[in-house]
Amino acid sequence: MTQHTNSRKYRHICVLSFLLSLIVGLYVSCERENSISGDIHDSTGNIGGEELVGGGLFSVSEVTKVRFAPGNLKPGGHGFTANQYDYGGLFGWGTGDSPNITSTDNQDYAVFHDWGMYNLGGLWRTLAKEEWEYLFFQRIEANKKMGMATISGVTGLILLPDKWVPVPDCEFKPGFGWRQNVYDSVQWSKMENAGAVFLPAAGYRWGTDIFFAKTGGYYWVAPSTVGPYAHLDCVVCFDENRVSLEVEARALGCSVRLVEEKNN
């Protein structure tokens, strides 16, 4: 972001010259940021430079709070979608270093490379199984901060931040069913600015074929121990009737939503 500096007052023409150059500089800087929508997340964690009501913070353990990225990871594995309701890419397990692989051989996914290490200098990461579980089921009033929705015709799951301030004319109802909460893009913009997160139901990919788009969401979880089966790992799964964490093949192409820790 452009840093404002205090300068001594100059006389007459010098003052006007300085102010004009400052205004031009600010305009160019803002234009650059707006030209890559979805890829910018400033140092304070604000989305689009606008401070979120309630902070937009989500507890994922008793001591850890995070902010979610402003969209799913884009195809190609770099940057985020322009809108939270855009699907983004579907990636094999741990393919931060090779996001375009579509192999169905689980042996091609032997080592987990977090996608966050390849986005904005490693500020981002993938939530672990225990963190997703805490977010969904264990944080304070967790059952009141999660609900299915349809936003601009896109089905998915809404998560509210720890401190939620209700948005006028945008009633939120926790619970299941794609029609539980229905918002247009204008209404969703208000919800988003208040700190709400939306995970679209983008389905999953097997090879180059996509299944269950619009009816199911599948999001990768950071590595966990799943018995002796090295070719399996944990995935967040949801449809309009349930939210769960399940074991799936590492070759499955799933959505990725990264987070940034914000504990201070």
Percent of the chain with pLDDT over 90: 71
Listed by start position, the domains of the chain span 57-261
Return left, alpha or beta for 62; rule: phi > 0 is left, psi -120 to 50 is alpha, else beta. alpha
Query: Token pair for residue 193?
Result: 């600015």
Q: How far apart are CA 42 and CA 27, in angstroms?
A: 17
> For 31-75, how does the pLDDT look when each residue is reduced to its tens digit (9 = 90+)?
323 322 333 333 333 443 344 444 599 999 999 999 999 999 999
Query: Token pair for residue 33?
Result: 């940021």
Query: Token pair for residue 180?
Result: 């539980």
Q: What is the pTM of this model?
A: 0.80
Dihedral sign of CA atoms 123, 127, 130, 131 in order: positive
Query: Token pair for residue 154?
Result: 């896109």
Dihedral sign of CA atoms 79, 119, 257, 211 in order: positive
Query: Token pair for residue 218?
Result: 């599948």
> For 112-145, how does the pLDDT look when each residue is reduced to its tens digit (9 = 90+)?
999 998 876 788 999 999 999 999 999 999 999 9
